[in-house]
Amino acid sequence: MSRIVLGVAGGIAAYKACLLLRRFTEAGHDVRVVPTASALEFVGATTWAALSGHPVSTSVFDEADAVPHVRIGREADLVVVAPATADLLARAVTGRADDLLTNVLLTAGCPVVMAPAMHTEMWSHPATQANVATLRSRGVVVLRPAEGRLTGADSGPGRLPEPEDIEATCLAVLAQADAAGAMAAQDLRGLNVVISAGGTREALDPVRYVGNFSSGLMGIALARAAVQRGADVTLVGANLHAEPPAGVRVVEVVSTADLAAAMAELAPSADVVVMAAAPADYTPAAPSDTKLKKSGDAGLTVEFRQTTDVLAGLAARRPVGQIVVGFAAETARDEAELIELGTAKLARKGCQLLVLNNVSDGAVFGAGENEVLLIAPVGSRGRAAGTKTTVAHAILHAAIAERSAE
């Protein structure tokens, strides 16, 4: 596993860094916590030491014989600062080295991720925005903060992203060097990306439905990756099993008809459309207005009709320059059969990129990891495996490559 340095600056969101630390350590990573002196006003050194299993210091003079201000940064595979306050961002930009954390930032040769947390006015101030731009120009991944309740009664952008979102991004950076570069470069800035996720439900009666096993986690990961790369992201969520990431506009739908209507409204203005949702292929022809009752030992016969083919419709109506990415969950004996099924589906649907899953054993649904094949009309775009956020970045890379080739 990886050696991670968790820097903690002095903000009320420091308590959330404890949850991030626990997520890292439970995944098997070796984590060294380097707080600022102000951070210890919010969460004490004893807590950080107990959770990480390492001693905690803010000073370059502790354990001076081990030269920690150089060694810690040099040995790290990743440095993540959460929360990164306005003060910490400013000190990092100017190259200050007046405590252990800023020294670590100067000596780290690994990727650096910063998760800002501050009041809205501080985040939107031109000085902070200039500092963020400077850090990104140096290759630092600066996450987009969440919107929501802040320290007091006020709400707005500046809230620390949830620990699971920070962790997912960090793991993607560790697994995929070009993901860090894409986030630092904000390579999707100015693009409108519409993503669908989850599984639709088709009502049998007021209390029962026909659905599928899709959790929406892959679509959520795509939304997370796209927003951290600078895109304006709308997530059309069908019965999602997890919370959407920060910075994403969410449109909730239930049925395939709802999904088709929402995508038809949103897609025309999108630069990239990703149909990661699993819409039902069939819906009851005549759903009951009242609850269906048992009648002795008699069975139940339900007539189904086909639903709208959402992906094919989007591909047929796509404006010039738009990229439509489809997903296909197939049951195949081997990779050759999977590619054969996917190639036929790609031609039938008319999209520019198809993401292929072999779901023969059902392992993909609800899992944190995924393995996919990417195919395009001109041939294979390769494969991607790892956490769903890592796979999401690979899919976005392929989509942008297709867009550049248009």
Residue 65: give its domain's CATH number.
Answer: 3.40.50.1950
For 226-280, how does the pLDDT look when each residue is reduced to its tens digit (9 = 90+)?
999 999 999 999 999 999 998 999 999 999 999 999 999 999 999 999 999 999 9
The catalytic site residues sit at 212
Interval 119-137 mean pLDDT: 96
Secondary element (H or E) of residue 122: helix 120-124
Q: Which of 158, 185, 212 is the last residue of a domain?
A: 185
> 179 and 210: one domain?
no
> 174 and 201: one domain?
no
> 20 and 57: one domain?
yes
Distance CA 23, CA 357 (A): 27
Contact 228, 113 (CB under 8 A): no
Overall number of domains in the chain = 2
Q: What are the residues facing 30 on neighbouring strands?
A: 3
> 285 and 212: one domain?
yes
Enclosing domain of residue 70:
3-185
Distance CA 43, CA 45 (A): 7
For 294-329, how does the pLDDT look when each residue is reduced to its tens digit (9 = 90+)?
887 888 889 999 999 999 999 999 999 999 999 988
Distance CA 134, CA 261 (A): 41
> 275 and 319: one domain?
yes
Compute the mean pLDDT over every residue in the chain, rounded to the nearest whole number: 91
> 212 and 286: one domain?
yes
Give the predicted TM-score (pTM) of the model. Answer: 0.90
> 50 and 181: one domain?
yes
Contact 240, 170 (CB under 8 A): no
> 202 and 166: one domain?
no
> 346 and 384: one domain?
yes
Contact 234, 209 (CB under 8 A): no
For 170-215, how does the pLDDT look when each residue is reduced to its tens digit (9 = 90+)?
999 999 888 999 999 999 999 999 999 999 999 999 999 999 989 9
> 230 and 271: one domain?
yes
SS3 at position 270 = coil
More confident of the two residues 88 and 380 = 88
Distance CA 309, CA 257 (A): 10
Give the rounded percent of residues in the chain with a pLDDT score beyond 90: 74
Q: Which of 140, 164, 185 is the last residue of a domain?
A: 185
Contact 188, 356 (CB under 8 A): no
Amino acid identity for residue 352 in this structure: Q
Tokens of 82: 């959460």
Q: Which of 156, 185, 214 is the last residue of a domain?
A: 185
> 67 and 140: one domain?
yes
